[in-house]
Chains A and B, each alone.
Chain A
Amino acid sequence: AQSVTQLDSQVPVFEEAPVELRCNYSSSVSVYLFWYVQYPNQGLQLLLKYLSGSTLVESINGFEAEFNKSQTSFHLRKPSVHISDTAEYFCAAMNSGYSTLTFGKGTMLLVSP
C-alpha cells in the first residue's frame, strides 16, 4: 500500500522568503502525485498534480513541485511566499490503476511579516 510522509508538521517563514515543503512517498511503482492546500475552515483545494511527462509542475500562484523518482520525493517550493500563503498543505499519492488517494499528515505553513 502507498504511504506518504510529510516530515515537517509546521514550517515558519518570513514573508518574501523561499520555502520548501517536503514530501516522500513509499512506492516507486507508477504513481500520481498531488499537492492540496487547506485554508482555515475550508475544504482541500488541488494546488498541482503530477501524472506523467515533465517532472516539474507548476501552479497558477507561484508554487512548483518536482517529481524525483530516485528519491521518491515530490517537494513543494515557492521562491517568495506571501502572508496569504499561510495554510495547511497536504501531499497525496495514488498508484496508477487505483482510485484512492493516500494523504500525508499535512504541513502547516506559517508566513509572518
Chain B
Amino acid sequence: DAGVIQSPRHEVTEMGQEVTLRCKPISGHDYLFWYRQTMMRGLELLIYFNNNVPIDDSGMPEDRFSAKMPNASFSTLKIQPSEPRDSAVYFCASGGRTHGYTFGSGTRLTVV
C-alpha cells in the first residue's frame, strides 16, 4: 500500500496563474478530504467527498477554488487565479469514520 499520493510535492507559481494539485487516495477508502495548513490558521478542511460525490465544500475559501473527484482513485484541487495568500501546504487525506484519516505528504504551494 503506497498510501495517499499527492503531486507535486512543491509548486511555485506566479500570481494569477492556475494551479492544480493532485491526489490519489488509498484504494477502498470511500472518503476523501482536502485540507490547507498555514501557521496562522492551522489545519482547515476545504472540502470532502464520499464515494466521489462532494458532500461539504463550505470550507472552500472562494470561487477561485474548485475540487473534483472524477473517479475513486483521483481527485484534483484547482486554484484559478492564484494569489499570494493561497500559499500554504495542501493535504489530501482518505479514510472513513472509524478508521481515522490517512494523510498524504502534502503539496507546498508558494504563490509569488
Contact = CB atoms under 8 A, between A and B. Distances in A.
Main secondary structure of the interface of B (DSSP, over half): strand
A103 B43 contact: yes
Most buried by B among A44, A45, A90: A44
A94 B106 CA distance: 22
A32 B102 contact: no
Contact of B103 (A43, A49, A51, A94): A43
Contacts of A104: 42
B33 A49 contact: no
A94 B101 CA distance: 11
A98 B50 CA distance: 12
B97 interface: yes
A103 B98 contact: no
Q: Which of A94, A98, A100 has the most CB of B within 10 A?
A: A100
B91 A99 contact: no
Contacts of B104: 43
25 contacts: A32-B97, A34-B100, A36-B103, A42-B106, A43-B4, A43-B91, A43-B104, A43-B105, A43-B106, A44-B93, A44-B101, A45-B103, A46-B100, A46-B101, A49-B100, A51-B98, A90-B43, A94-B97, A99-B31, A99-B55, A99-B97, A100-B33, A100-B45, A103-B43, A106-B42
Interface of A: 32, 34, 36, 42-46, 49, 51, 90, 94, 96, 98-101, 103-106
